[in-house]
């Protein structure tokens, strides 16, 4: 069973219709596919109605963090087609759990996903997303899924761990200090 996961606010601005269409197309290729849309929002009831004919489309609602980790760990792919997010906390959580992720190339989440094994930013073209999921699903048979996920989680911890946060803070602080020093020099001149 291939488990596709979306977490976050379920609203039209998150490009949920695109996600639904990708699921509908992919399930034709791989009937053993489930979609879990975790979260709540004004578009949830609409999504439930549109996918009511699919026995493998689930809407658990908003979940506590501990339970959410279980879903991230059980899923095979995280899909995030939003073009309006500036950061994408859901994407960061998925990557921290080692979950292969596909997202829109527009917005902050694209920076988190870029250059990761089994992760991609793709244009919002349904057939390309379906093809990518299918390719990656077939790739799982070539390598241990556990090995891939551990690698993804490890790389994320290196990039977004405290050492990197401190390094980035130090860089920004130094840049601001240099800018301030230059401004003071110009004012005195």
Q: What is the pLDDT of residues 137-189, one digit of tens each?
A: 887 755 566 666 666 665 666 665 556 555 555 655 565 555 555 555 556 65
Q: Which structural domain, as residue segments, surrounds residue 107?
A: 2-164
**Residue the block writes with tokens 């130094």:** 174
CA distance to 12, 47, 54, 74, 155, per residue, from 51 (Å): 15, 6, 5, 21, 35
Residue 57: CATH number of its domain: 3.40.50.2000
Residue 90 lies in a domain: yes
128's tokens = 């390309």
Residue 9 lies in a domain: yes
Q: What is the pLDDT of residues 86-136, one digit of tens each?
A: 888 999 889 888 888 999 999 888 888 876 777 889 999 999 999 999 998
Q: 63 Cβ partners below 8 Å, 6+ apart?
A: 38, 71
Q: Could you give the number of structural domains in the chain?
A: 1
Residue 44 lies in a domain: yes
């Amino acid at each position: 069973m291939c488990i596709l996961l979306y977490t976050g606010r379920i609203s039209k601005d998150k490009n949920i219709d695109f996600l639904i269409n990708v699921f509908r197309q992919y399930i034709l290729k791989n009937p053993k596919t489930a979609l879990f849309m975790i979260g709540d929002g004004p578009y949830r009831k609409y999504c439930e109605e549109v996918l009511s004919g699919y026995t493998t489309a689930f809407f658990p609602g908003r979940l506590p963090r501990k339970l959410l980790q279980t879903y991230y760990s059980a899923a095979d792919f995280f899909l995030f087609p939003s073009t309006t997010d500036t950061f994408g906390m859901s994407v960061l959580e998925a990557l921290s759990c080692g979950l292969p992720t596909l997202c829109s190339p527009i917005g902050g989440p694209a920076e988190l996903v870029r250059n990761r094994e089994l992760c991609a930013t793709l244009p919002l073209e349904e057939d390309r997303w379906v093809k990518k999921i299918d390719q990656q699903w077939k790739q799982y048979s070539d390598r241990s899924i556990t090995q891939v996920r551990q690698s993804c989680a490890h790389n994320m911890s290196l990039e977004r761990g405290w050492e990197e946060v401190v390094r980035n803070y130090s860089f920004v602080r130094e840049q601001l200090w240099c800018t301030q020093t230059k401004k003071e020099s110009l004012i005195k001149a």
